Structure 1
Amino acid sequence: MDSKTPYKANLIKQQKVCERNFHKLMKLLPDLENNDNLVLSFYLAGWEGQARFQVLERAPYTTVLHVNLDAAWGQWLKLPEFRIRIYRDVRMAEIISVNKDRHFKAIYPYPNEKMLMPDEKEQLNQLFSEWLNFCLTHGLNN
């Protein structure tokens, strides 16, 4: 991105990531509608861990989900905690908080006080997508 050209959010790209995140969550958590607490164990190269999914809110068209990752490598690497809003009617899932930071804007000026990237929200949804890929590849339902 040219430093003279201001960042413009790509809403189509962001929606696609949120749609993929929804479908990945539904594949990982087929019993989400009936269960408020789900645990997924994962194994990789002798390391093990768990992803805990806890429903915090249920509304007619949305669900708020807390995702807590716990792994042996968490002793030397801070693992993210996600809060996700699932929009069941439009089949999308997006980040609403990460590690207690919340209410992300679509675009941030850069530089800014917290040094957030102009596309911070898009990048966080992509990070969550990559964690879901990891869970799909290495996870085992308990």
Structure 2
Amino acid sequence: MIRKRYVPDLQELAALCEANYVRFLKLLPDSEEGSERVFAITYDSENRAQVRIRVQEQHPYTTMLEVIQEGLSPAWIQPPSMQVRLYHDASMAEVLSYQNQHRFDGRYQYPNPQMRLPDEKVQLNRFLADWLDHCLRHGHVNIPFSFTPTF
């Protein structure tokens, strides 16, 4: 049996990145380096989580964000955490790191030493899209923008 080699769908990846950029614009209409936005996600009266989006760096053409979930995870599960770069000139948002794993290629041979799936990069950007959609639909802001000086 001959395995068919995975070929990345660049149109799908570009569409995901463009849609994620628009989602971030809705969630962070005004942002500056050091600011953050926290969304509470309430599942029922006892279960609540927060999604924190923090602006780590801001430059004329790019912005680096940290997106993390706090709460509602068993102690043995690491809550989702990723770094996302916004490219303002291209109107795209791309996942750069997930759970402290950095640099994702567009395609991987499988199996590989990191056990990444052939379409790992697309899946991470899909996960970000689902996460941001969830924030837009079910999240409510419980902490306004705040500026934290960095020294």
Do they fold alike, i.e. is TM over 0.5? yes
Aligned to 2:97: 97
Aligned to 2:49: 49
* Partners of 1:113 and 1:73 in 2: CA distance: 28
Q: How many residues align?
A: 141
Aligned CA distance change for structure 1 residues 7 and 45 (closer, same or farther; 3 Å): same
Cα offset, 1:130, TM superposition: 0.8
Instruction: Normalising by structure 1, report the TM-score.
Output: 0.90
Q: Which runs of 5+ in 1 are unaligned?
A: none
Provide the alpha-carbon RMSD of the alignment. 1.8
Superposition map of 1:48-67 within 5 A: 48-67=48-67
Secondary structure of residue in 2 paired with 1:41? strand
Instruction: Normalising by structure 2, report the TM-score.
Output: 0.85
Cα offset, 1:31, TM superposition: 2.0
Is 1:122 equivalent to 2:138 in the alignment? no
* Partners of 1:125 and 1:16 in 2: CA distance: 10
Cα offset, 1:73, TM superposition: 3.2
Q: State the Cα deviation string for residues 14-54 of structure 1 (Å, max 9, x = none).
A: 00001111111111121224762221222123321211111
* Partners of 2:39 and 2:95 in 1: CA distance: 19
Aligned to 1:15: 14
Aligned to 1:25: 24
Cα pair 1:108 1:117 within 8 Å, conserved:
yes
Aligned CA distance change for structure 1 residues 105 and 124 (closer, same or farther; 3 Å): same
Superposed structure 1 runs of 4+ greater than 3 Å apart:
73-77
Cα offset, 1:74, TM superposition: 4.5
Identity in percent:
35
Q: Comparing both structures, which one devotes a greater share of its residues to helix?
A: 1
Superposition map of 1:64-103 within 5 A: 64-75=64-75, 77-103=77-103
* Partners of 2:24 and 2:48 in 1: CA distance: 20
Cα offset, 1:61, TM superposition: 0.5
